[in-house]
Amino acid sequence: MVALVDTSALLALSRTKDQYHERAVALADRHLTGGGRFVGTTLVLGELHAHLLHLRGPREARLALHALLEDPIHEWVEVSAELVRDASEWLSRFSDQAFTLVDAVSFQLMKARGVHHAFAFDAHFRVAGYELLD
């Protein structure tokens, strides 16, 4: 099974002090042991890099980015202007929600690829109609 990977999960995996760290490690291990893989967008990578740059500095942010790009269990999808345009429908349809553009692009990718589960600690995925790994 392929699951969308969100910044919240990647941050939880990378930070032992994160409130979701232990849960993230267990979920990732269970998903991967079952033959699962992850798909994410380059926007998620950018968001993660920005967080890690602030939290850990340039070297650690760069190393984490390179490790994810080289990891064969992750597929990283480049975000085109067309994908952003299509994703903006999520922002309109759920105008009462504080979805970020990164969230909306992830939802649109999930819709386009038929992905039903997200590795995330963000309730917005459930609001948008997707399941979280559990």
pLDDT at residue 108, as a whole number: 98
Per-residue pLDDT of the chain (134 residues; tens, 9 = 90+): 999 999 999 999 999 999 999 999 999 999 999 999 999 999 999 999 999 999 999 999 999 999 999 999 999 999 999 999 999 999 999 999 999 999 999 999 999 999 999 999 999 999 999 999 99
Entry field: residues in the chain: 134
pLDDT at residue 23, as a whole number: 98
Structural domain boundaries, residue 91: 2-126
pLDDT at residue 80, as a whole number: 98
pLDDT at residue 126, as a whole number: 97
Q: What's the number of domains the chain is made of?
A: 1
Determine the Cα–Cα distance for residues 76 and 41; give it in Å rounded to an integer.
5
Structural domain contains residue 84: yes
Structural domain contains residue 22: yes
Structural domain contains residue 133: no
- From 82, 130, 94, select the one nearest 110 (Cα to Cα): 130
Q: What is the CATH number of the domain that holds 30?
A: 3.40.50.1010
| Type of residue found at 70 | E
Could you write out the DSSP letters of every residue in the chain? -EEEE-HHHHHHHH-TTSTTHHHHHHHHHHHHHTT-EEEEEHHHHHHHHHHHHHHH-HHHHHHHHHHHHH-TTEEEE---HHHHHHHHHHHHHTTTS---HHHHHHHHHHHHHT--EEE-S-THHHHTT-EEP-
Across-strand partners of 40? 76
Structural domain contains residue 131: no
Structural domain contains residue 134: no
Tokens representing residue 124 in the block = 């917005």
Structural domain contains residue 57: yes
CA distances from 55 to 24, 74, 132 (A): 19, 23, 26
Structural domain contains residue 73: yes
Structural domain contains residue 15: yes
Contact 79, 43 (CB under 8 A): yes
